[in-house]
Amino acid sequence: MLFLLAVVLAGNLVFAQTLSEQLSNIMTQIQSIVPIVALVMIVLAGLVYAAGQVMGAEMRSRANVWATSLLVGAIIGLVLAATAPGIVGLFSGAALLTS
C-alpha cells in the first residue's frame, strides 16, 4: 500500500509544472485517501480489540496494544489530513519567497 502511495505521489511530481501545483496535488490526494484509510484502521482496531477479548490474557494484552496503535495511527492521519491545507500553504509561501 505504501508502494502504491509512493507511485501515485511520484506521478504527480513528474506531471505537475510548478511546486505549488505539486503541493496542491499532494494535498488533494492526502485529503481524499487518508480519511478512507483512517476509517478502515478504526474498524480494524475495533475488530482486533473484540477478537482479543475472547483470547487468553497474553493475547488479549497484545490485541489491546495493536488496537490502540491502529487507533492512534488513524487519529494522526486524520489530523494530518485536516492540517494539510495549512502545511501546503506554509510550504507554498516559502517556495514563492525563495523563487
Distance of CA 28 to the CA centre of its chain: 12
| pLDDT for residue 18 is more than 80 | no
What b/e readout covers 42-54, taking b as 16+ CB neighbours within 10 angstroms?
beebeebbeebee
pTM of the model: 0.70
The pLDDT tens digits for 57-87 are 999 999 999 999 999 999 999 998 898 888 7
Average pLDDT score over residue span 16-21 = 64
Contacts of 54 (CB under 8 A, 6+ apart): none
CA–CA separation, 9 vs 22, rounded Å? Answer: 9
Which backbone phi and psi does 35 adopt, to 5 degrees?
-60, -35
